[in-house]
């Protein structure tokens, strides 16, 4: 009795805690018995797969969305820091130009 399976995976990139992390959701239909009618097995597998996929992606979406305010806040802090650094550099350049023009 031979059995076959199919697996599909994809890698997604997420931003979390100032780093990029990768997740790899995978779906599979396993152990299709080649001694039995294949079509009914696939139909049942696809139905279960859709229900499982919907629930799994809903859970992952909730987790990702839960992290987004923290990610957004961290990004705002980083941008604010960079702007503050740019302002310091601009002020320094203004002083240099002013000193050169004043001499």
Cα angle 95, 76, 64; round to 5: 160
Tell me 26's DSSP state. Answer: E
pTM for the whole structure: 0.45
Domain count for the chain, please give it.
Answer: 1
Q: 70 is in which domain, residue-wise? A: 3-31+38-102
pLDDT tens digits along 14-71 = 666 666 677 777 778 888 898 999 899 989 988 988 888 888 878 877 776 676 666 6
Per-residue pLDDT at 37: 92
pLDDT tens, position by position, 86-100: 888 888 888 777 777
Of 8, 78, 3, which Cα lies nearest the Cα of 36? Answer: 3
């Amino acid at each position: 009795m031979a059995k076959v399976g199919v697996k599909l995976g994809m890698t997604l990139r997420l931003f979390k805690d100032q780093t990029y992390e990768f997740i790899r959701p995978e779906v599979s239909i396993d152990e299709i018995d080649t001694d039995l009618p294949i079509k009914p097995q696939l139909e049942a597998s696809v139905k279960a797969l859709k229900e499982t996929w919907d629930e799994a992606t809903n859970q992952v979406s909730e987790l990702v969305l839960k992290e987004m305010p923290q990610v957004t806040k961290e990004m705002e802090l980083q941008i604010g820091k960079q702007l503050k650094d740019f302002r310091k550099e601009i002020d320094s350049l203004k002083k240099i130009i002013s000193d050169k023009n004043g001499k």
